[in-house]
Chains A and B, each alone.
Chain A
Amino acid sequence: MAKLMQLKQDKRTQMVWFVALGVLILILPFLAGMLGQAWVRILNVTLLYVMLALGLNVVVGVAGLLDLGYVAFYAVGAYTWSLLASAHFNLHYPFWVLLPLGACLAALAGLMLGAPVLKLRGDYLAIVTLGFGEIVRILMNNFDKVGLPWSDETYNITNGPRGITGIDGLNLFGLDLRKGLDVSGFNVSGFNVSGLQLYYFVFLAFAILSVIGVYRLQHSRLGRAWQALREDEIAAKAMGINTRNIKLAAFGFGALTGGLAGGLFASMQGFVSPESFGLLESIMILAMVVLGGMGHIPGVILGAVLLSAMPEVIRYAADENVQQKIFGVVLIAPEVLRNLIFSLALILIMLFKPQGLWPSPEKK
């Protein structure tokens, strides 16, 4: 009986924490807004990273397929939005066409890459996906002068390294998110919801949907098959699992999530260029998954939040003024210091927590 009371008590404290966390998440953009809109943008980007890390988690953490070119799918989503909703081709399709389209194109790219290469074992797959990521980036860089063999005329598709500017924002049935929301009419004088804060809530909704989707997948027949594949491919086959098909499914789902996040990213930034989709970005997302705790959703979210927030916080802490105050001189260029601390953190966390910061529990 006492034990039961204890359990109830635990449940209640858990509930309190849960509600507190929920409230914090809801007021976070306004707290950040007090520091400046740049911080709201950091929050938004963090939410996108949560989505990306969750998507890659299905591929790497759950199914155990090492993908080093994941950012390519993010790029496909971002460029789909950018090309079809900007002044570049003077096309302006609405979000409900572009977000699903971008996600589907990314998934298609995932399946096309996956079909021939998924039979490769672990590290071979890693280098091929890495190569794929690089191919996509180089194509984005060079598709500003696509020529046909039989003519000298070239076409500008991606605008090359200069990137695409003037991208439409997210327009939710008449409400242009970038413009923000003026709620001063509701007697709260001078209180405005900025465009970035509106984006925060849209991204939050998508991030929550991703969590639900990934959670449900992971705890389904397909999810168990993925885990079985990760643990022992031969035994999985002996259980009648068509490993090829479920590998493709994992790749496709991961790409889908990446493509969706890409479209959202383009709609917020208003500018995309190949630079945002390099190998380092893929590696960063992979690090989020591994550092947080592969296959464990709370861990992956923690990893994403930590790794996307850490560089920004370090950027602030490593600021020249701060160094000036402490040492009297700027010892190390802030950018270098930031990367130094970041890389040391990666190494140390892995050395001391090889399973990740928050791995899945031993007992369920």
Chain B
Amino acid sequence: MSIDVLLQQIVNGLVVGSVYALVALGYTMVYGILQLINFAHGEIVMIGGPTSVFATKWLLSMGRPSLLALLIAILVAMVVCAVVGVAIERVAYRPLRNAPRLAPLITAIGVSILLQQLAILVFGRNYFTFPELISRDPITIGVVTVTMNEIVILLASVALMAALLWLVHNTKIGTAMRATAENQKVAGLMGIDVNKIIAITFAIGSGLGAIAGVMVASNYGQAHYYMGFMLGLKAFTAAVMGGIGNLWGAMVGGLILGLVENVGLIFVRGDYKDIFAFVVLVLVLIFRPQGLIGERVAERA
């Protein structure tokens, strides 16, 4: 194995990993507040893909400059996904907050299938090509080959994660979110509108997911109604591996998962790539049952 190959795979891993991380944040934020696996999050990310494709195509056909088209398309995708995310919480999860724990999980699965089918109805079963607004031509930097698209993905992810951390730790809304995650009842007594905070959490998580959806679509040049499934599964794996409920955990988990998958490709045939994520997950959890960064949940008498 040459060092060049390793470096190349590390770069590839960081790009994929940062997308995983963005999606994982959506899972972890919701879990942190509601202790609910939002199974439908992968489909929300998926919706971001085709939505941005249609938006950009329409804007380009109106003769808008490509960069502006892309930015507006991202905004449109974010708004659409945030609305979908908030609506799902309102309709499918909120009524079940005091129900047995598996009930909202089943509705989440139902919503996930529903969104996929709706996507087929609205967008169709085809692959949509995403216009090449940011160049996908390879650039060679030293021994490593990247595309402008990948560089933008990396930088944008870092910026978004930093912004999220700032929001959660330095704003009033962020404080309210943390308080709600800590103890809903007490947060409510302190005058926090818990329902509003939960809705905001879904909106932010879905918005980040939408951007991740656009990134994937633009990087691979296509979007598809099924693209949310594996991506969601991997991101969820990443969130758990990092320690679900913990923002840093989701980011670190996502990056590590991306790295492991891509570096692993040097050693193992590509067919087994998807196994990797899960094997690593099992290993991590055997040695650190609370996840890489998750807090230990002590048994309390």
Interface residues on A, range: 35 or more
A201 within 8 A of B: no
List the 7 shortest-distance A-B pairs measured between CB atoms, nearest first.
Answer: A131-B278, A346-B110, A354-B99, A343-B113, A343-B114, A347-B110, A354-B103
Shortest CB distance B269–A (Å):
8
B285 within 8 A of A: yes
* A351 adjacent to B240 (CB under 8 Å): no
Contact of A60 among B102, B103, B279 (CB under 8 A): B102
Cβ contacts under 8 Å, A32 to chain B: none
Cβ contacts under 8 Å, B110 to chain A: 343-347, 350
CA distance A123 to B241 in the complex (A): 12
Q: What is the chain A residue whose CB lies nearest that of B297?
A: A121
Among the interface residues B100, B101, B106, B116, which one has the most CB atoms of the partner chain A within 10 A?
Answer: B106
A290 within 8 A of B: yes
In this complex, how many residues of chain B approach chain A with their Cβ under 8 Å: the count is: 49
Shortest CB distance A243–B (Å):
11
* Listed A/B pairs (27) with beta-carbon separation below 8 Å: A117-B286, A123-B244, A124-B240, A126-B37, A127-B240, A128-B278, A128-B281, A132-B278, A132-B282, A134-B278, A135-B279, A142-B269, A142-B272, A234-B299, A287-B109, A290-B103, A294-B100, A333-B120, A336-B120, A343-B111, A343-B112, A343-B114, A346-B113, A350-B96, A350-B99, A350-B104, A350-B107
CA distance A123 to B274 in the complex (A): 21
Shortest CB distance A201–B (Å):
32
Cβ contacts under 8 Å, A283 to chain B: 109
Shortest CB distance A327–B (Å):
15
* A117 adjacent to B285 (CB under 8 Å): yes
Cβ contacts under 8 Å, A25 to chain B: none
Cβ contacts under 8 Å, B104 to chain A: 350
A339 within 8 A of B: yes
Q: What is the chain A residue whose CB lies nearest that of B274?
A: A138
Cβ contacts under 8 Å, A208 to chain B: none
* A134 adjacent to B274 (CB under 8 Å): yes
Q: What is the chain B residue whose CB lies nearest that of A338?
A: B117
Which A104-144 residues sit within 8 Å CB-CB of chain B? 116-117, 119-124, 126-128, 130-132, 134-135, 138-139, 141-142
Shortest CB distance A360–B (Å):
12
* A290 adjacent to B121 (CB under 8 Å): no
* A351 adjacent to B107 (CB under 8 Å): yes
Which A323-361 residues sit within 8 Å CB-CB of chain B? 332-333, 336, 339-340, 342-347, 350-351, 354-355
* A347 adjacent to B240 (CB under 8 Å): no
* B95 adjacent to A351 (CB under 8 Å): yes
B289 within 8 A of A: yes
* B92 adjacent to A347 (CB under 8 Å): yes
CA distance A109 to B212 in the complex (A): 36
CA distance A170 to B190 in the complex (A): 66
Shortest CB distance A247–B (Å):
14
Other A-B pairs beyond A134-B278, A139-B275, A234-B299, 14, CB < 8 Å: A123-B31, A124-B285, A126-B37, A138-B272, A142-B269, A234-B300, A234-B301, A279-B233, A286-B106, A332-B121, A345-B110, A347-B107, A347-B111, A350-B106
Which A230-255 residues sit within 8 Å CB-CB of chain B? 234
* A339 adjacent to B106 (CB under 8 Å): no
Shortest CB distance A38–B (Å):
24
Contact of A290 among B102, B112, B114, B278 (CB under 8 A): B102
A58 within 8 A of B: no
* A116 adjacent to B100 (CB under 8 Å): no
A291 within 8 A of B: yes
Contact of B282 among A60, A131, A291, A340 (CB under 8 A): A131
Cβ contacts under 8 Å, A332 to chain B: 121
CA distance A291 to B10 in the complex (A): 45
Contact of A135 among B37, B269, B275 (CB under 8 A): B275
CA distance A346 to B95 in the complex (A): 15
CA distance A137 to B104 in the complex (A): 27
* B117 adjacent to A340 (CB under 8 Å): yes
A234-B299, A336-B120 known; A117+B100 contact, CB < 8 A: no
CA distance A40 to B299 in the complex (A): 51
